[in-house]
Amino acid sequence: MDATVTLDQGMAFHGTASKSGFTLKMDAHPSVGGDGDGFRPLELLLVGLGGCTSMDVVSILRKKRQAISGFEVRLHADQAKDFPHVFTDITIKFIIRGRDVDPKAVERAIELSSTKYCSAHIMLEHAATITSTYEIVDEE
């Protein structure tokens, strides 16, 4: 996997991933010379974790023939007060909408994602405590 990050102006950068070719904008907070007009790098780590585990859990639930009609993941990260402000605790809340979704299937999907499939989760758990919860919203 390769990526390129290029300075745009001020503290704004464009990052491009070689495999997908997609580009995104990153920028620093105004207090450190940015315009606040893009993702911060650590935000991307948190969003990446959310995307990684979401793809796993949805894929597993579909394979288990769970009738999901909606899915959302909410993430929160606490950071160390001192530099380098690493993540110390991360909470992940999965919200699954559907009809007769089996809680055991959801629990197993989250477990498989966090212990076997989600590379971002497995890497970040070396730096932070990661806690997952879920809510099933029954849509009859």
Q: Render pLDDT for 86-128 as a digit per residue (tens, 0 to 9).
A: 999 999 999 999 999 999 999 999 999 999 999 999 999 999 9
Q: Which two tokens stand for residue 86?
A: 């690493």
Residues 45-84: tens digit of each pLDDT: 999 999 999 999 999 999 999 999 999 999 999 999 999 9
Query: What integer pLDDT is reported at residue 140 of this predicted model?
Result: 79
This prediction has a pTM of: 0.94
3-state SS class at 38: coil
CA distance 133 to 92: 6
Q: Is 63 left (phi over 0), alpha (psi -120 to 50) or beta?
A: alpha
Query: What integer pLDDT is reported at residue 56 of this predicted model?
Result: 98
From the list 70, 76, 73, the residue with the least C-alpha distance to 54 is 73
